[in-house]
Amino acid sequence: MAALATILHADLDAFYASVEQLIDPSLHGRPIAVGGGVVLAASYEARAFGVRSGMPGRRARELCPEIIFVGGHFNEYKRLGDAAIHVLSDFTPAVERISIDEAFADVSGCEQLFGPPGEIAKAIRSRVRTELGLPISIGVARTKHLAKIASQVAKPDGLVIVDPDLELEFLHDLPVELMWGVGPATRARLAGMGVKTIGQLAQSSPKSVERLLGRAIGRKLTALAWNRDPREIQTHRRAHSAGAQSALGRKPAVERVFRPVLNHLADRIAGRLRAKARPGRTVTVRVRFADLRSVTRSLTLPAPISTTTALAEIAVQLVRGVLADHCDEKTISLLAISVSNLADDPVLQLELPFGLEDEGHRPGPRKGMKRLRADHAIDAIRNRFGWEAVGYATSALRIAPSVPDEFRSLAEKEL
């Protein structure tokens, strides 16, 4: 007998747009987008015209001339997102929040109090709608992977319960892009070998999939296609990396464009690393070109860093290397930085001042310590007076970002 379906994946529908429609009832049923220069989120009414998150505002207006842009109420997003997660917590302590608007929950052992998992899901949906005024879709299944797919199938504002005896029948007819980790690029590569459904992926040669996508990703997707997912609910998740990205539209691939953007991203990331005392050793940059093709470069350092200037300098060096290797690319559309191999409360190892070029990239030499002290002074001022009160000129004199920093902070994982 198959195990019971006790894993719930709850996902607030078109969350940011739904909150705006809740705040202003006159927006109900109308195509709206949060943002301006870039679409941060779109209502289902706007999505019907092809409007998507990350799309330039000009393109969104071309697709949907009646679209209404709103600025965004970031405090309300956080308050209502937290409130929805608290509803889940009223039914089970085993809740794993994975973003501002979605979470997993394991309701095994809760049947005596609240009924079977399907009834618990119905009660959660009813409470979120009644107490918060928001739609929420829930998938119920035996594994996290399948529960998340079920919640996507349930959208908008629905509930799908996957019978453990019919899992593969449910899963294998669905498009492969519903799988966790399959984005547009992976979907296109799979389509090139004739794989468009999860069932076709399951029936494909594992070796062929690994050759196409790489060993780790290929093995993972093949296992998920057969619903082999041993992951359990993690109630205290800590991020393994910290990152940020900036969509640029179409900008020249020159240093006067990418350096200020990288400086700002480094400022955000390094501040988070210092706040949690979790410096990192590996710096990775991602450059996306006009044709949406992305290239990444990484550098692993001998000691973990969290200083803004060091992170920015390393990121600039890595992006220079990417562009040098792709000199035919004249336009960039996105830049991203991430820091991984995070340390927990590392002991600072002092170093003698030998005058080496990379002393500013290590925390131990005098130059690295001076940079860290400057960062701590900036952090103290910002904690008291706000982020915009002080900063490095290289970041402060940048062009205003198309995506507000308040919006970015909602997506940042807990370190």
Q: Which residues are catalytic?
A: 102
Cis amide linkage into residue 346, ω under 30° from 0: no
Beta-ladder partners of 334: 247, 288
CB-CB neighbours of 114 under 10 Å: 15
Edge-to-edge order in the sheet of strand 294-305: 241-252, 331-342, 280-289, 294-305
**Best CA proximity match to 138, nearest among 110, 101, 166:** 101
C-alpha to C-alpha distance for 362 and 301, rounded to whole angstroms: 8
C-alpha to C-alpha distance for 203 and 222, rounded to whole angstroms: 9
**Best CA proximity match to 77, nearest among 21, 16, 10:** 16
**Best CA proximity match to 242, nearest among 338, 386, 349:** 338
Q: What is the 3-state secondary structure (H, E, C) of the chain?
A: CCCCCCEEEEEECCHHHHHHHHHCHHHCCCCEEEECCEEEEECHHHHCCCCCCCCEHHHHHHHCCCCEEECCCHHHHHHHHHHHHHHHHCCCCCEEEEECCEEEEECCCCHHHHCCHHHHHHHHHHHHHHHHCCCEEEEEECCHHHHHHHHHHHCCCCEEECCHHHHHHHHHCCEHHHCCCCCHHHHHHHHHCCCCEHHHHHHCCHHHHHHHHCHHHHHHHHHHHCCCCCCCCCCCCCCCEEEEEEEEEEEECCHHHHHHHHHHHHHHHHHHHHHCCCCEEEEEEEEEECCCCEEEEEEEEEEEECCHHHHHHHHHHHHHHHHHHCCCCCEEEEEEEEEEEECCCCCCCCCCCCCCHHHHHCCCCHHHHHHHHHHHHHHHHHHHHCHHHCCCHHHHCCCCCCCCHHHHHHHCCCC
